[in-house]
């Protein structure tokens, strides 16, 4: 019996040692690790700068009101009591230089309200803003990070509008944002 007891004690010690070893080995296999790095890319901020102002050129009026529509390409058309004389004067759509990160796309916001232009006490309004690229499509900066944004609008001319050079007291705002 002494031999059996010694064997049992030895077996108990071996089992206890094995139990401790299994417990530590299970803990070692239950925990694993992995690593990752954190990165960030700072891009060139989008910017817009006025390259040229909008100018509807020379406009002749009559006793009836009318409009002059100036396309983003700088072409004019008239309606109502307005005519466009052969001596056009300076005609140009507004142009803006948009710059930023090469090949990025951006959205365009044109004025929502009319802009008033004045000559002394006389006024006219400019509204119905259009652009190239269009507001719907937005723009895409080229491989150098640049694009020209052209803006046209409609000039609303009153009946027998007094002559003069009409200028906006407050410039109109065009906004661009990365998509």
pTM above 0.85, yes or no: no
Structure tokens at 78: 């008239």
pLDDT one digit per residue (tens) for the chain, 179 residues: 556 665 666 766 776 656 666 555 555 568 999 999 999 999 999 999 999 999 999 999 999 999 999 999 999 999 999 999 999 999 999 999 999 999 999 999 999 999 999 999 999 999 999 999 999 999 999 999 999 999 999 999 999 999 999 999 999 999 999 99
Which residue has 């004067």 as its token pair? 89
Tokens describing residue 98: 């948009």
Q: Residue 86 has what DSSP assignment?
A: S
């Amino acid at each position: 019996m002494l031999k059996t007891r010694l064997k049992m004690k030895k077996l108990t010690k071996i089992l206890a040692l094995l139990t401790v070893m299994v417990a530590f080995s299970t803990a070692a296999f239950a925990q694993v690790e992995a690593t990752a790095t954190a990165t960030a890319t700072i891009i060139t901020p989008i910017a817009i700068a006025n390259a040229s102002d909008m100018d509807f050129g020379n406009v002749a009026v009559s006793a009836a009101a009318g409009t002059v529509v100036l396309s983003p390409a700088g072409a004019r058309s008239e309606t109502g009591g307005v005519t466009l004389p052969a001596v056009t004067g300076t005609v140009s759509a507004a142009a803006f230089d948009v710059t930023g990160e090469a090949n990025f796309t951006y959205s365009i916001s044109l004025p929502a309200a009319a802009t008033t232009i004045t000559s002394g006490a006389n006024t006219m309004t400019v509204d119905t803003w259009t652009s190239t690229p269009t507001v719907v499509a937005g723009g895409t900066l080229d491989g150098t990070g640049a694009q020209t944004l052209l803006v046209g609008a409609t000039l609303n001319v009153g009946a027998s509008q007094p002559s003069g050079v009409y200028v906006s007291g407050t410039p109109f705002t065009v906004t661009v944002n990365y998509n």
